[in-house]
Structure 1
Amino acid sequence: MMGCPLLLILGVSVLLFGWDASAQSSDSNCPKTFTVGEAKTYQTCNNLQTLGATLAYTYVVENGSLDIAFQAAPAASGGWVAWGINPQGIQMIGTQALIAFQSSNGSTVVGTYNVQSKTAALNPSSISLTVTNKSAVYESSSGKITIFASLVLGSNQTSINQVWQVGSSVTNSTPVIHSTASADLSSLGTLDLQGGTSSVSSGISHQTLKNRHGVLTVVSWGILMPIGIMIARYAKTFKAADPAWFYLHAFCQTSGYIIGVSGWGTGLKLGSYSKGVEQTSHRKIGIALFCFATLQIFALLLRPDKDHKFRIYWNIYHHSVGYAVIILSIINIFKGFDILDPEKKWKNAYIGVLIALGVIAAILEVVTWIIFFQRKSKNSINRVSEMNGNGSTQSHV
């Protein structure tokens, strides 16, 4: 009886503590000194939140000069790396970027790019920032490219919106659009120039919102709803569980629906964060899932009495929609895992939960059928006894 409340606590705990990939990594093993011609050491170095990138820099507040050394590995051999500042906000569109890659002659080149589209080809252009001393080097041993540059910011500027990225290929000296995986869409944040820290925005980050969407969806549609159905199917077989099974069933389904709607809402918010990047099948299944789950809530409100002539039609409607919700939820959760691409332990954990629920359901299925046949046999014997009793009584009349 405590299964659903415990799952709610577990879900909230994971949501708050366990599945947050947006936390800033420490600055251990972050290089501050680089040797390009003459050795140069920077004041601060940060391991950025995604893509294995680092940023070393020295900022002079009096004149607003910023010397940077950005380092990352391209997504594939022959790819590119980029770092930039966005005066408009924490987003890709509007980024004044430096992009570096190896040219066809083997040299490493770096250019300035004004990013104004998520889909159009990127061509070198002037940007709104003054950039000097830009250069780039490729390290064959590590496969990383390092961009060096000096930028002039406004004096007394305390923070900037930074965006970084890596790509897998370059065609005719034009960087090909990067992947839309979770890490690529989350490579942006705020750089505190004086405090020396790199972080996500002050609001909920894109990655954090994705994580919460995933947790809410798994806990609601993926765990609470199946458990609620199992309670309704198996617990009511035991007379001692009546009517407690109904209230547990209603509690799990209602709680699952409320949490699921919260997850659905975060999914809508994610869509507004990622305009131009659509997860079509995941979104369509999510909409269908929400509609079916809403129908189930109405089923609770429209539930007729057991002896009502429409009860059989209500049962068909309630059961078919309920099983449709479970099937769609499991399919969509695994699609979500492919999109979010968390650590394997999370996907494995959910697979473990499904296996455990499946084993429990199989055992209960056998037990309830045994009970059903035992009761049926007992009822048959009782009816025969009653008939024999009536017959013997009549024979003495």
Structure 2
Amino acid sequence: MATALRPSLTISIFCILASLFRSSNADTCKNYTFPNHRMFHSCIDLPYLSGHLHWTYIPTSKTIDVAYRAKQASTGWIAWGINPTAEGMVGTQALIGFQRSNGQMTAYTTPITNYMPSVQPGSLSFPVSNISAVIVKNEMIIFAVLGPWNGSTAVNHTWQEGPLSGDVPRAHSEEGSNINSFGTIDFLSG
């Protein structure tokens, strides 16, 4: 009788493992389907803050179509940016997105010039167009087109999340994942 249960038990274990594998890979950038079926040629799962960066580099126009997405409650903000001068936060040319108290999503550019930035709308050191944000299943997504891009396609980048007070972004945590959320990326080679 025990031998008759083994195939059934084996199939059950296989099904459980398969579902765990699917759910663990469900949050990867390669398996993600964007609203309106937007497509990007490259992506990377970022090591901190549940972030994912998607992009398409268009050599003919020297533009970079980007989407940064991260899990975030409706009471917080997310940001991603490029630091053309150094690694880390100060100098970052950022895109920020959050859900306002009236339920509308907002996105804008903001330069990070010091460790206590105002995070108010401001111009960046490079052109940005078509910036927008959406929230899908407790995940925020910021879309934008960078360029024409005249610098190197290999850049320092940072990403972040933090709380809101009313409709005003407040300082992010200065511990753990928040202080480690930076790296380098090459938009041309991936």
- Which TM-score applies when normalising by structure 2? 0.79
Partner of 2:109: 112
Q: Tell me by how many angstroms 1:172 deviates.
A: 4.2
Deviations 1:20-62 (A, max 9, x none): xxxxxx99831454124xx211001110121110011001234
Query: What is the alpha-carbon distance in structure 2 between the residues aligned to residue 58 and residue 27 of structure 1?
Result: 21
Partner of 1:35: 35
The DSSP-based 3-state class of the residue aligned with 1:100 is strand
Choose from 151, 158, 163 the match for 2:158: 163
Q: Tell me by how many angstroms 1:98 deviates.
A: 0.6
Query: What is the alpha-carbon distance in structure 2 between the residues aligned to residue 104 and residue 129 of structure 1?
Result: 30
Choose from 133, 143, 147 the match for 2:142: 147
Count of residues in Structure 1 that have an aligned counterpart in Structure 2: 165
Partner of 2:62: 64
Contact 1:97 1:112 in 2 (8 A): yes
Equivalent position amino acid for 1:188 in 2:
F
Query: What is the alpha-carbon distance in structure 2 between the residues aligned to residue 191 and residue 158 of structure 1?
Result: 8
The DSSP-based 3-state class of the residue aligned with 1:123 is coil
Equivalent position amino acid for 1:63 in 2:
S
Give 5+ residue unaligned stretches, structure 1: 1-25, 197-397
Q: Tell me by how many angstroms 1:127 deviates.
A: 1.3
Query: What is the alpha-carbon distance in structure 2 between the residues aligned to residue 64 and residue 49 of structure 1?
Result: 27
Matched, 1:93 2:93: no
Contact 1:89 1:161 in 2 (8 A): yes
Structure whose alpha-carbon radius of gyration is higher: 1
Contact 1:32 1:45 in 2 (8 A): no
Q: How does 1:374-393 map to 2 (within 5 A)?
A: none
- Closer, same or farther in 2 for the Cα pair 1:179/1:107, shift >3 Å? same
Contact 1:42 1:57 in 2 (8 A): yes
Q: Tell me by how many angstroms 1:186 deviates.
A: 0.8
Deviations 1:63-85 (A, max 9, x none): 321001110023x5400000011
Partner of 1:188: 182
Contact 2:93 2:124 in 1 (8 A): yes
Partner of 1:132: 129
Contact 1:96 1:112 in 2 (8 A): yes
The DSSP-based 3-state class of the residue aligned with 1:125 is coil
- Closer, same or farther in 2 for the Cα pair 1:178/1:156, shift >3 Å? closer
Query: What is the alpha-carbon distance in structure 2 between the residues aligned to residue 32 and residue 56 of structure 1?
Result: 10
Q: How does 1:1-397 map to 2 (within 5 A)?
A: 29-30=28-29, 31=31, 33-36=33-36, 39-74=37-72, 76-139=73-136, 141=137, 143-155=138-150, 157-167=152-162, 169-196=163-190
Query: What is the alpha-carbon distance in structure 1 between the residues aligned to residue 164 and residue 114 of structure 2?
Result: 17
CA RMSD across the alignment: 2.1
Query: What is the alpha-carbon distance in structure 1 between the residues aligned to residue 117 and residue 188 of structure 2?
Result: 35
Query: What is the alpha-carbon distance in structure 2 between the residues aligned to residue 28 and residue 138 of structure 1?
Result: 15
More strand by share: 2
More helix by share: 1
Q: Percent identity?
A: 36
Contact 1:32 1:44 in 2 (8 A): no
Q: Tell me by how many angstroms 1:105 deviates.
A: 1.1
Q: Tell me by how many angstroms 1:114 deviates.
A: 0.8
- Closer, same or farther in 2 for the Cα pair 1:28/1:101, shift >3 Å? closer
Q: Tell me by how many angstroms 1:157 deviates.
A: 2.8
- Closer, same or farther in 2 for the Cα pair 1:156/1:102, shift >3 Å? closer
Query: What is the alpha-carbon distance in structure 2 between the residues aligned to residue 27 and residue 118 of structure 1?
Result: 35
Q: Tell me by how many angstroms 1:154 deviates.
A: 3.0
